Amino acid sequence: MYEYLRGEVAARGEGATVLEVNGIAYRLACSLSTIRKVPPQGPCRLFAHLIVREERLDLFGFADEAERHLFRQLLQVTGVGPAAALGLLSAYEPAALASHIASGEIALLVRAKGVGKKTAERIVVELRDRLAKGEGSGKPVSPVGIRGDAVLALCSLGLPRPEAEQRVATVKGDDLPLEEVVRLALR
């Protein structure tokens, strides 16, 4: 529903950032790594994820798309809720966390707040293959971030996953926005 929020930092504290956007203050639950990247005051943009529950709405903020993408992947794992996903993202940067999951390092995952051994094992079983995609010959497609999202976008347009990965791998430029990566991959 929300792609990102851009506004002025009204407050920043443990577990959350408050952004004032056009006179409305939004409280976004954040990982510690995101909070460290948010300036104490001034303009800021956070990528958002909204979870709708019966009696409340929870809004989460992320410093970059890679972190949000990994958060969403973690939420798809049985038994992993937003608190455990934020705990993992607070303990490790997204690239390091994806690497730990892909290589099955359960002992490192259980160090995160809210993650026990069984949950860590489930995360590895359910996400290992998805996060290890892109390894092998040629330029790997990042399992998280813009290139991973571009692969998913191409698949939703009807391309087979291997072809989508191949097309995204041929796109030059590491700092292109998602829309540009998809556009270039469709050429």
Alpha helices in the chain (DSSP H): 32-37, 65-75, 82-91, 94-102, 106-109, 117-132, 146-156, 161-170, 178-185
**pLDDT: is 119 or 145 the higher one?**
119
Average pLDDT, the chain: 86
Residue 127 has pLDDT above 50, yes or no: yes
Q: Residue 85 — very low, low, confident or very high, per pLDDT cuts 50/70/90? A: very high
| Closest-CA residue to 144 (of 105, 184, 178) | 178
Residues forming CATH 1.10.150.20 domain(s) in the chain: 65-132
Residues of the chain with CATH 1.10.8: 146-185
Q: Which helix (H) or strand (E) holds 27?
A: strand 24-29
pLDDT of residue 128: 85
CATH of domain 146-185: 1.10.8
Residue 144 confidence (pLDDT): 52
91 vs 131: CA distance, rounded Å:
18
Q: What's 4-62's CATH class?
A: mainly beta
131-151 exposure pattern, b = at least 16 Cβ within 10 A, e = fewer: bbbbeeeeeebbbbbbbbbbb
Q: What is the pTM of this model?
A: 0.69
